Chain A
Amino acid sequence: DAGITQSPRHKVTETGTPVTLRCHQTENHRYMYWYRQDPGHGLRLIHYSYGVKDTDKGEVSDGYSVSRSKTEDFLLTLESATSSQTSVYFCATSGQGGGEQYFGPGTRLTVT
């Protein structure tokens, strides 16, 4: 258990509003990831970070931005939420690139 928490765990928001999801880890892992999970698609990588202030895009990064100012925190921001961003969002961490990833409990986001 990598000691990963996500907040909020559930959120309902309206189209066009900004939303920030937070991932916090206590394991001092260098790598952090944001995924979304949708039926029929498995998990798809949104953005990831390989160190403080070092981030890169994943497979489905459009409409999302991230920031990592401290090792333990990785923020995912939806600048202007759309209904297509309704999903379950998972944060994950890894102590080494390419190693197993440990997941947070997920955030269920609904955009109405």
Chain B
Amino acid sequence: AQKITQTQPGMFVQEKEAVTLDCTYDTSDPSYGLFWYKQPSSGEMIFLIYQGSYDQQNATEGRYSLNFQKARKSANLVISASQLGDSAMYFCAMREAYNTDKLIFGTGTRLQVFP
């Protein structure tokens, strides 16, 4: 079974608008971590944001926030005030406590920001 599911292969958003990229996960471990990475067309992987399963508040980093709904097992990335430079692939990943050294990645969502 897929541990990380990103159901949106592609998303479009207009500049300055907010966009939500979906991520659902599957784990029976009560302790886990969720990560989002950005991969622009140049190919590098850039760490964006982290959410721990026991964190009381949703993580935020500048224009990025994570809408963490534990009961629904979802960890959606919200990008506020989109910029043209946000156009990229976005990957959700999970780390389970019993296997703390490894990340499991989703298949990614391609975001395109248009003027």
- A residues near B (Cβ < 8 Å) are 31, 33, 35, 40-45, 48, 50, 56, 58, 88, 90, 92, 97-98, 100-103, 105-106
Contacts and interface: CB of A to CB of B under 8 A. Distances in A.
A30 B95 CA distance: 17
B45 A103 contact: yes
21 contacts: A31-B101, A33-B102, A40-B107, A42-B4, A42-B106, A42-B108, A43-B45, A43-B91, A43-B93, A44-B105, A45-B104, A48-B101, A50-B101, A90-B45, A98-B33, A100-B35, A100-B50, A101-B47, A103-B44, A103-B45, A106-B43
Given A102-B47, A105-B43, A48 B106 contact: no
Contacts of A105: 43-44
Nearest to B46: A103
A40 B89 CA distance: 12
Given A41-B107, A42-B106, A98 B101 contact: yes
B61 to A, nearest CB: 11
A36 B33 CA distance: 22
Interface of B: 4, 33, 35, 37, 43-47, 50, 91, 93, 95, 97, 100-108
Most chain B CB atoms below 10 A, which of A43, A44, A106: A43
B44 A106 contact: yes
Given A42-B91, A88-B43, A100-B47, A48 B107 contact: no
Contacts of B35: 100
Most chain A CB atoms below 10 A, which of B35, B50, B106, B107: B107
A90 B93 CA distance: 15
B70 to A, nearest CB: 18
A101 B45 CA distance: 9
A50 B100 CA distance: 11
